[in-house]
Every structure is written in structure tokens, then in C-alpha cells.
Structure 1
Amino acid sequence: MEWMLTPLDILSVVPRWYVGACFGTVFFIYYLRDAVKLPTIACAPGKFRQFLEDNVPILKEKFWPTLWCFESRAQTVLASLLRSQLLPEILYRREILRLSDGGQVALDWLEDGCAPKSPIVIILPGLTGASQADYVKTLVRAANKLGLRVVVFNNRGLGGISLKTPRTYCAANCEDLSAVIHHVQTLNPNVPLAATGISMGGLILGNYLAAEELAARKKFAAAMVISVPWNVFKGSESIEKPFLNLMLNRHLCEGLCKLIEGAEELGIDVPWDMNEIRKSRTIREFDANFTVKQFGFKDVFDYYSQATLHNKLHKIAVPLLCLNAADDPFQPLDAIPVEAANNSKNIAMVITARGGHIGFLEGIMPAYQTETQYMSRLFSQYFSAVFREETGFFNLLDKAD
């Protein structure tokens, strides 16, 4: 009778260290081939692209995502957990801006160690984020180290302030951002201004830049967006996929519902049905039950059509640096407008192979590098170069096509 060895029999006689070494080697080869890559840069040849190539050295380096945590959802969650636990709260100077309809937003300033006429960067957090959000603190601290003044624009009802009216915010409406920009410029005439939007904050900023077109060029020297869901339709489909994506979706939806409940608890005369809104289990359902009714859209399709940004890049005249990960669970790679960026002299799309959604963790021990991760390094190098006189960036703007 012929004796056949099974894989388990073979493994039982092979030293464990050898098996571990084989698996480790295969895993490391996979990591090097699939995860460690130079970022893709989509931007038409011209002065802006040349400026980036000359002054932002990180774009010539491979992105090395954390070896033991480079899956997209793992990057997304772990990056948030690490930054939340390790970065202390920032002591801002708070300013309450009253809006024309009776609403209010909180503007949180950090100006420690900055000159009175230092450039200002406006930061727009994501869907339910505010000035103490982990990713916001990372960028605020990076800007402060550069000597830049920072103001974080907290949307209505966020950042510890209460709603004064039934109105909140949405990705397709830029009225509140316009009021904030006007206010900041009125207080700081002749001071260079820049902006950074993260996730939905990037959608709001991008839609503002597209709507203002050349007029925005007179207000902003430069801008940056991070992990923007360019195509809102495809982004919604992606974040609704089970299991892990859907969990992230539902977590954000719960945050939106709590925001609305806060208004009801304050006794504001609200025109919505809270019981219907509580049934929302995804962001799309929340938008159908609340956002489209509040802002007067026909339906979710109408709202997402106006909010989406991938088809508006040709309208943006402000130099715009964009950072996305190819594995972002909020935005699949085929939804990132690479071709449009390749045809634009004002927009540079930087796409890393890995990084998740606002993750971009690097190094074996990312806990010791929370303030020097890829996202903040790119932010720092970009705005340092923009506001460094010897780069000639403002001459580039004056002479741009």
C-alpha cells in the first residue's frame, strides 16, 4: 500500500522557524511589490508641476506604509486611534462667527509663535470632524511649526457649539465657507491665505474653488485637499459595501444623527421628522431623510450631482495639491479624476498605493511618528515652499497661464 504524505504531515516534520521564515519571505515580497511604490502624480506639464518637482522632495520618495498594517481599513482606523491617543488637545483661541441667517460657526485659531502678518491656512475638517479631530491636530501642529497661522472652520453644530437654527451643512453648499473667508480676509487684509480640506471638507473647498473660478485666485495663494471623495456616487457605493466599509459608514451616520438630535434637545423649532431620521443606517439614507429636504434638493441624486467634484476640475484656477490613496474605502481608484488632473496645469493629484482614508501611516512603529507621517510631511513641504520667498511661487502665479 502506497503511503502519501499530506501537507500537514510535511509541516509536522519541518522546523517551525523554517515555515515562519518562508511565510515571512513571501509576505515581505508581496509587501514590497504591492504596497511600497512611488506615488502617482497626475498634473499637466507646466509651472505648477515643475514647482512641485523642485520644492516637494517627498513626491520623489516611495511611500512605505506600516508593514504590519497596510490594509486600507486597518490604516484608516489605526491612524485615527493612534493620533487620538497620542496627540494632546490643542489650546485654540476661539472666535464665534454669527451668520446672516442667525446661525453660528466656531473659528479656532492657533497663532502661537507666529508673526502678526504670517500667512494663514484655513482648515476644513471632514464630515463630522472638528478642530480637535486627530487628523486636524496633525495638520495644525505641522502648520504652526512652519510659522503659519491656522484657523479651523468648525461647521454648524460641531466643535462644541450648539445649533442656533435648524440649518446644518452639506457638501454642495459653500455659503458658510464664503462668509468665513470674507471674515478672515477682513480681519487680515493683505495677508496671504491658503486652505486645506479633508474628506468632505475637501469637497466643500473644491466646490467653492470651482464656483469662484478666477475670483478664488485673488483670495487664495494655494490650496490642498486630502482623501476627497471626488465622485460622490461611487464613494457612496464603496462605503456601503459589507462588512468593514459599511461599519465605518454606520459610525459616521450615527454622528450625523446625534448632531440633529442636539438641535431638537435645545428646543429649536425643527422642520424635520426625527423618528424618520433615526431610521437612517447609512450616510445615503441620512441624506435622503434630512439633507435633501433641508437644502431643497430634489432627491439624493440631485444632491450628489451638485456635490460631486470629479467633473469640475477644469474650473479650478487656484493651485491645488490633492492627496488620495488608491485603496481608500471611501473612494475607489477608478473614481479619482486622474485624466482630468493630467489635463490641468493648476491641479496636481498625488496617489499613493496604500494609505486608506486619511491614514497614510508609515514606519514599523508609527506610534512614534504621529506628527511626521506622510500626510503631514507632504502638507509641510508644500506650504513651506509656497510661502518661501526664494521659490518664486507668487511670481509663478502672476505669470501663470
Structure 2
Amino acid sequence: MDWLLSSLDILFDFPRWYVGAIVGTGFFTYYLHEAVKQPVLACSNGKFKDFLLAHVPILREKYWPTFWCLESRAQTVFASLLRSRLLPNIKYQREILKLSDGGQVALDWLEEGCPTNAPIIIILPGLTGESQAEYVKCLVNSASRIKLRVVVFNNRGLGGISLKTPRTYCASKCDDLSEVVNHIRSLNPGIPLVAAGVSMGGLILGNYLVSQFSKPDKPISAAMVISVPWNVFKGTESIEKPVLNLLLNRHLVGGLCKNIQRLKRDKVPQGPWDLEEVLKSKTIREFDSSYTTKQFGYKDVESYYTDATIHDKLHKIEVPLLCLSAGDDPFQPLEAIPLEEANKSKYVAIVVTARGGHIGFLEGLFPLFHEQYMCRFFTQYFTAIFADGSDLFAAIEKPTNTSCIEQV
């Protein structure tokens, strides 16, 4: 103990600027060595990988996360706060789509400045998100800049519309999305259609792509997902870790419970669940156990999560799919990202940054003063799809035995 006190006395004898310089140098050494890295690309060798390396130059750049919110939860929270305060709401044209079971969803369109034959992109928000969610507005603005016609698919009960049936939505069921896709295609025959999903929206989109396995006519020609919780079991375990992850968990379940209160507000007939018990949920797992599993007919939450997860279903995706994940995502630990599975797929490419949090990916000293990292990925990928990808997808080769996971 004496040596420690002596060391502290010596340290305090130095000028403050000297101590600050030592601490600052240590931090920036750590930052440059541990945080600033090129993303890892997991993809089978072949046409799709070659296409990405040739036409998505951000893959060859280092990602420089904003140093003053480097930690994963800080990235997640500050990204949401900054975007929500700096990005104005978007004026969409709303379409209400009546579904086959009597339910309804809101489709919010942004087509200003686009030709009538421009490609269309469907954007799927996350767990409690809708068309004015801050991360959705980022992607919508980017899509509009590259002259894509945008439609945001708001899940049942979200986006300010009432519920017409007891059914809401969940990660494993993609029949609502299927109806939306068929509706858009029927109104726009011959127009290319792509999609992007964020977090749980990425799960729904992924399960939809899996449902199209072996079908010759793929309604969606290319897709992208961001911060998708590939393995729902691992993701749920991660978000239940105290203290900060658990606080994020409780924030999300609060949003879910607020949505479920619409069942009472809209005077929707109740199903086989106790609404008061549902509203007492403190974690997403508790909410899924008391509500989601009962609404969608699962025997337990494990059965639901098995059906929802897509980390083991990549071999059933036959549409070019670019995936952006962060290695420090509190909603999905690095070891749960299916890099080896993507390494065997000729259609799926997973890109992993060292930092970025969950739907964070802030970069630079002053984030939001320029197009953000995930949006640059988005615009480069879809610009390349429509400018250079016309002959790509039918010619995608079967993966070879030399496929690898590499840092590009």
C-alpha cells in the first residue's frame, strides 16, 4: 500500500497538462489500435463477393467510430438521440393497405423527384419503429438521394393507425410482408423491387427471403439488413445482462407495452393472454412469454425464438443479401454472428465492424454533419445494384472450396 501511495504522490506532483497528455496519448493509442479497423467481410468466393469488392468501396476503408461515444451502448443511445433531434420529420404519402384477415398496415411513400419507372425499395423498421423513427429517416433520405422510390412498411398498430384485429406482429411471421410485396408488385409491374430491414425488421425480411427458397420468381431482387439479431437466443441473453444492457431491454419492452395498450384503446377483442399480466413485463423475454407466444400459437418462448432466428437458415436465402453488423452490438454478441454460415453462401455477405453498437455506426468528430456510415453502405450497395448489377445475379457461381472469411 505504501508504494501505491508513493506512486500517487509522484503522479500528482506532475503538471496537469502532463498527466492529461499521458492519459490522452493512451486513449488514442487504444482507439487507433482497437477501434479503427477495416470491416470483416464474410462471403463465399464468387460473383457476389467480387461484385461487392468492385462496387462498394467502403469495404476497403477503415471505420472511424466517433471517439467520444466509442462504447457500444453509448453508440446506440447517442445515435438515436442525435438523429431524433437533428433530422426533421419526412412528409410521406400514406397508403392504408387492407390485409386478407381484416387487419391493416400503413405504407408510407416518398417518391418526390423520382421518375415513375424508378426502382422501389421497401424499408422495414425495428421492434417498435415506424416511418418517422430516426434511423428510418436516415435510410429514407439516402434512398431518395439516389432516386429510389421509397415505401416504409409500418407494422400493424404502428405509424398512428388503429388495430382492426387482435393480431399485431412478430419476428417469425412474414405473411404481412408477403401481402405488401405482392401489392406493390401488382401496382408496379416490371419495376425492380428491393428491400432493407433494420434490427427486427431485418429478421422479418430474412424470414421472408427464406420463405421464397426454391421459388423461381423472387419478388425481391436484392436486400440489405442492418444490426439484425441473427440468433435470437443469444441476443436475448445479451440484452438481459446487467446493468446497461438490461436498461436498454427495459426501454424497449416499455415501447412494446405501450403498443399493446392499443388493443384496449381500439377495443379489439382479446385473445388467450392476460393483458394486465403482459403490461407487467420487465424484459423482452417476459413480454414474448406472456403475449407473443400466445398470440401466434407457440407452445413456449423457446419455440418462438427457434422459428424467428435466421443464423442457421442462410442456406435457404437465394437473393443477394448484404448484412451490416457491429462486433460490439449489445443486442447480438460477436460470436453469434453466423460468419461461417455466410462463408458457405453464394448469396449472403456479412460485414462486421469492430465498433458501432446497435444501429449506431456514428463516425467522425461531428456525426450527422455528413452521410453516416450505415447510410454510405446502403447507398453504395443499392447504387451498384441498379447501375452495375443487371447481369450479376443470374450468373452468381456456386461457392467454391476456397471461400474464406477475410479482412478486406
Q: Tell me if TM exceeds 0.5.
A: yes
2:401 maps to what in 1? none
Task: Return the alpha-carbon distance in structure 1 between the equivalents of residues 265 and 232 of structure 2.
Answer: 31
The structure 1 segments of at least 4 consecutive aligned residues displaced by more than 4 Å after TM superposition are 2-5
- 1:207-356 equivalences under 5 Å are 207-215=207-215, 218-271=218-271, 272-356=273-357
1:137 maps to what in 2? 137
Q: Is the 8 A contact 1:210 1:315 kept in 2?
A: yes
Query: SS of the residue aligned with 1:45?
Result: coil
Which letter does structure 1 place at the counterpart of 2:220? Answer: F
Deviation string 1:152-177 (CA, Å, 9 cap, x unpaired) is 00000001111111100011101100
1:99 maps to what in 2? 99
Query: SS of the residue aligned with 1:165?
Result: coil
Report the CA distance between 1:400 and its aligned residue.
2.5
Which letter does structure 2 place at the counterpart of 1:376? Answer: C
Task: Return the alpha-carbon distance in structure 2 between the equivalents of residues 226 and 68 of structure 1.
Answer: 23
Which letter does structure 1 place at the counterpart of 2:10? Answer: I
Q: Is the 8 A contact 1:221 1:394 kept in 2?
A: no
Q: Does 2:167 align with 1:167? A: yes
Q: Does 2:396 align with 1:395? A: no
1:382 maps to what in 2? 381
Which letter does structure 2 place at the counterpart of 1:381? Answer: Q
Q: Does 2:73 align with 1:69? A: no
Task: Return the alpha-carbon distance in structure 1 between the equivalents of residues 16 and 217 of structure 2.
Answer: 63
Report the CA distance between 1:221 and its aligned residue.
1.8
Q: Cα 1:23–1:216, aligned 2, differ >3 Å: closer, same or farther?
A: farther
5+ residue gaps, structure 1 = none
Which letter does structure 2 place at the counterpart of 1:363? Answer: G
Query: SS of the residue aligned with 1:275?
Result: helix
- TM, length-normalised to structure 1: 0.97
Deviation string 1:82-136 (CA, Å, 9 cap, x unpaired) is 0000000000000000011111000000000000010000000000000000000
1:362 maps to what in 2? 363
Which letter does structure 2 place at the counterpart of 1:397? Answer: F
2:151 maps to what in 1? 151
Which letter does structure 2 place at the counterpart of 1:112? Answer: E
Q: Does 2:45 align with 1:49? A: no
Q: Is the 8 A contact 1:213 1:316 kept in 2?
A: yes
Q: Is the 8 A contact 1:316 1:346 kept in 2?
A: yes
Q: Cα 1:5–1:310, aligned 2, differ >3 Å: closer, same or farther?
A: closer
Q: Is the 8 A contact 1:172 1:303 kept in 2?
A: yes
Deviation string 1:313-350 (CA, Å, 9 cap, x unpaired) is 00000000000000000000000000001111111100
2:400 maps to what in 1? none
Report the CA distance between 1:396 and its aligned residue.
1.2
Which letter does structure 1 place at the counterpart of 2:257? Answer: C
Which has the higher mean CA deviation after the structures are superposed, 257-266 or 299-308?
257-266
Aligned-pair identity (%): 65
Q: Is the 8 A contact 1:66 1:362 kept in 2?
A: yes
Q: Cα 1:20–1:152, aligned 2, differ >3 Å: closer, same or farther?
A: same
Report the CA distance between 1:12 and its aligned residue.
2.6
Query: SS of the residue aligned with 1:215?
Result: coil
Count of equivalent residues: 395
Report the CA distance between 1:240 and its aligned residue.
0.4
Task: Return the alpha-carbon distance in structure 2 between the equivalents of residues 103 and 255 of structure 1.
Answer: 21
Report the CA distance between 1:263 and its aligned residue.
1.5
2:372 maps to what in 1? 373
Report the CA distance between 1:216 and its aligned residue.
7.4
Query: SS of the residue aligned with 1:395?
Result: coil
Which letter does structure 2 place at the counterpart of 1:99? Answer: L
Report the CA distance between 1:6 and its aligned residue.
1.2
Which letter does structure 1 place at the counterpart of 2:229? Answer: P
Which letter does structure 2 place at the counterpart of 1:384? Answer: T
Task: Return the alpha-carbon distance in structure 2 between the equivalents of residues 344 and 142 of structure 1.
Answer: 28
Which letter does structure 1 place at the counterpart of 2:149? Answer: R
Which letter does structure 2 place at the counterpart of 1:382? Answer: Y
Q: Cα 1:48–1:264, aligned 2, differ >3 Å: closer, same or farther?
A: same
Q: Is the 8 A contact 2:239 2:331 kept in 1?
A: yes
1:6 maps to what in 2? 6
- TM, length-normalised to structure 2: 0.95
Which has the higher mean CA deviation after the structures are superposed, 228-237 or 360-369?
360-369
Report the CA distance between 1:7 and its aligned residue.
2.3
5+ residue gaps, structure 2 = 398-408
Task: Return the alpha-carbon distance in structure 2 between the equivalents of residues 236 and 119 of structure 1.
Answer: 36
Task: Return the alpha-carbon distance in structure 1 between the equivalents of residues 328 and 94 of structure 2.
Answer: 36
Q: Is the 8 A contact 2:47 2:395 kept in 1?
A: no
